[in-house]
A and B are shown apart, each in its own frame.
Chain A
């Protein structure tokens, strides 16, 4: 069974631009959650989508948004990029929604975003 696939693997953008990241979950998984990982802050929760609905959101500004499609694939968008948005963005999928906490998250290898 294929794992979680994130594209692109690397991305370089300039301040003020916007970016869209893509995540394809493991087949049959309906929950997709997004995380930002930086050396200083560690791994931080951005948001979760389940059945095309945002179920939970972390403490990030409105510039960070996402959506989920009917096939469970998800996209994350960051508008008006800032230098501090440089990070590894990870997507994780789960068989059921995060509130069913007896189900492991399976992570992709992330998208490395560099903002210059």
Chain B
């Protein structure tokens, strides 16, 4: 499975856009990029996912580079409730065949500052 690399922590001022980067340089052509976030003592919450094209939903935007080796999650107007750990993961078929597993890395701890 492709591994992801994220900065351990970031700060963002309330009301400003939060841009969270993720490196997935070993991603293969059939792997999707997913973003989740986890607030303390709750389960991970699905945010958005994409394959090649940029995606937007009511929560966030996902920008994937043309070579697909990295992506950025954008929270357009961060609020205090967006303070959480954000995980970037990739999901797809293993080249060796069989079913793929889901693995989360250590994520980015985003602190939104008033």
Q: Which residues of A does B touch, CB under 8 Å?
A: 4, 6, 33, 35, 42-45, 48, 55-56, 58, 90, 92, 97-99, 101-102, 104-110, 112
Interface residues of B in 77-114 (CB under 8 A from A): 87, 91-93, 98-106
B47: nearest chain-A partner, CB-CB: A104
A110 touches B99 (CB 8 A): no
B105: nearest chain-A partner, CB-CB: A42
B43 touches A109 (CB 8 A): yes
B42 touches A109 (CB 8 A): yes
Chain B interface extent, by class? 20 to 34
CB contact under 8 A between A108 and B102, given known A101-B31, A101-B92, A102-B32: no
A105 touches B102 (CB 8 A): yes
Q: Is the interface of B mostly helix, strand, loop or mixed?
A: loop
B45 touches A107 (CB 8 A): yes
Task: Add 15 more A-B contacts to A92-B43, A110-B42 (CB < 8 A).
Answer: A43-B44, A44-B103, A45-B101, A90-B44, A97-B99, A101-B31, A101-B32, A101-B91, A102-B51, A104-B34, A107-B36, A107-B43, A107-B44, A108-B43, A112-B41
B49 within 8 A of A: yes
A42 touches B104 (CB 8 A): yes
Residue from the list B34, B43, B99, B106 in contact with A48, Cβ < 8 A: B99
Interface residues of B in 1-60 (CB under 8 A from A): 30-32, 34, 36, 41-46, 49, 51
B31: nearest chain-A partner, CB-CB: A101
A56 touches B99 (CB 8 A): yes
A107 to B42 Cα, complex, angstroms: 9
Q: Chain B contacts of A107 at CB under 8 A?
A: 36, 43-46
A90 to B41 Cα, complex, angstroms: 11
Residue from the list A4, A99, A106 in contact with B93, Cβ < 8 A: A99
B44: nearest chain-A partner, CB-CB: A107
